[in-house]
Every structure is written in structure tokens, then in C-alpha cells.
Amino acid sequence: MAIQFYGRATAAVFAPLESTSRSARVARRLTDAIALGLLPDGEQLPGEADLAQQFGVSTVTIRESLSVLRQEGLIETRRGRGGGSFVREPVDGPAVLAKRRLAEVSLLELRDLGDLYAAIAGSAAALAARRNDTEDVRQLRRAASQLADAQKPDARRRADAQFHIQVAVAAQSARLYHEEVAMQAEFGTLLWLAFGDDDSHEQMVTSCDALVAAIEARDTDLARRTAEQRVADATARLIDYHLAQEP
């Protein structure tokens, strides 16, 4: 088959929709949710038909994804009355899932993910600086103080994720908000490996406060720079962490 060239601008129209299969992407989403602790140990997954409807894929695709998760020991399927698929958290904790994934990722991919996340977080922060009202600032301060008060690594990670969500909410952009959520699932799970200790926590609390101040002052440039720097710092920590692991 001859591939027609429609010019540079239109080439994107005919680019493949997604490079990975649908079942692999569903499996990845569910794995990320387990890694993030959103689907705790013992949680029952919705039935195949419901999952198919929620993901907008066929039940065949769902069956493939579930069989991947079953092979990895992340779910257990029981038959009969009261049966279904139940989450089985890895014995050494959900972080092992993120570690497994990190081992397969190159430094270049991490840099690329960091660049994209910085673009999303930076734009959301700039729009938040332009569009915030007093209620937004109140919610941001609340999220920032929850992060500052959080003691355990898990609580710190959740509070950090919540703070990012609040910034995207203040930006009033549904698309940026959805991109932020998608990045948290794809990249946040990895970033969290290198976040939660006192050192990184202190750094994040400081930059959160700086970001809230810039947003409240309606300083769009400073808000964008501060948010980009936050992501750059987190990415750098992750890359250092990655390099410190045994190859």
C-alpha cells in the first residue's frame, strides 16, 4: 500500500491512535491504581461487564487485562457466589510495583516524562494565577498545610498529589486537570519512589508555599516557573534514585 503524504501539518491526523494495545493499557491503569494504593488489598474489582463499560472497551479486552494481572499475582479470581476478582497487594508492599516499572525505564524516558509533566504543571499554575478566587486560595492553603503536617511517606505523597490537583482545579481547565490526573498515574507512581523522606518533604513544602504565594499574587510567570521547578526537582531526585539502584 502506498502511504500518501498529506504534508507535515496533516501527518498527525493519520498517525496511529495508540502504540500499546488496549488490554495492556487497561492492565497498566489497574496496576498503577494498586501501586498508588487506590485499590487496596482485598478490594473487589467491578465485574467484567462493568469494567468494560467504564473503560469503554470490550469484555474480551477486559478479560485479557485481568489475565495479565492474574499472572502477575495482582488479582485473585474466585468463582461462584460472592466470587469475583480481588486485589492482592504484593507481599513487600505496593512500592515494589513502581520499582519493577522503574527498572524498565531509561533515563531519557524519565527526562521526557518530566518535561511533559513540567509543561502541564507549569501551565496549570500560570492559569491558576490568572483565574483564582479567594475560595481557590483557601483550598490551596488547606492542601499545603495538609502536606506540611503529613508525617508518614504515604500521607505525604497523597497530600502532594492532592496539592497538584488543587492547582489544576484553580486553573479552571478540565483538560489540564485530566492531564494532571493521567500524569500522576503514569509518572507520579515513579516519582513517589524518591519522595516522602524528611529532606524531599521539606523541599516540597517550601515550594508549595512559594507556589501558593505566586498564585495569590496573580504572578503568572512566577507561578509557572515555581511549578516547573517543583517538577524538575522531583524528576532529578527520581533520576538520582534510579542511578543508585543496582543495574
Partner 1 sequence: MPQTAALAPEVAGVLDAVADMAAAAFEVVDQISALVQERFTAGEAPSRATLTGVGELCAGFVGTRDHPVRGAGYVAAVGYLADEPWWLEWFTQGEDGKSHRMVCQTDPDGVGFFDYEFLTWYVVPRDTGHRHVTGPYIDYLCTDDYNMTYTAPVLIDGKFAGVAGADIGVQTAETLLLPALRTAGRPLAVVNEQGRIVASNSGRHLCGDLVTDVDVPAAWASPARAGLHVVADLPLAVLELAR
Query: What three-state secondary structure class fits 17?
Result: coil
C-alpha 164/C-alpha 167 separation (Å) is: 5
Residue with smaller CB distance to partner 1, 164 or 201: 164
Q: Which residues contact 111 (CB under 8 A, 6 or more apart)?
A: 235, 239
Does 40 bind partner 1 (CB under 8 A)? Our answer is yes
Contact 120, 180 (CB under 8 A): yes
Length of the chain in terms of residues written: 247
H or E, element range at 238: helix 220-244
Does 168 bind partner 1 (CB under 8 A)? Our answer is yes
Residue with smaller CB distance to partner 1, 160 or 235: 160
Q: Which of 28, 131, 141, 225: binder of partner 1 (CB under 8 A)?
A: 131
Residue with smaller CB distance to partner 1, 111 or 142: 142
Does 139 bind partner 1 (CB under 8 A)? Our answer is yes
C-alpha 28/C-alpha 31 separation (Å) is: 5
Other C-beta atoms within 10 Å of 52: how many? 18
Annotate each residue in 88-127 with x if it binds partner 1 (CB under 8 A) or - if it does not, as one string: ----------------------------------------
Does 146 bind partner 1 (CB under 8 A)? Our answer is no
Taking the complex as a whole, the smallest distance from the CB of residue 21 to partner 1 amounts, in Å, to 22
Contact 27, 68 (CB under 8 A): yes
Judged by the rule CB under 8 A, the positions of this chain that interact with partner 1 are 37-38, 40, 53, 56, 130-131, 133-135, 139, 142, 158, 165, 168-169, 171-174, 177-178
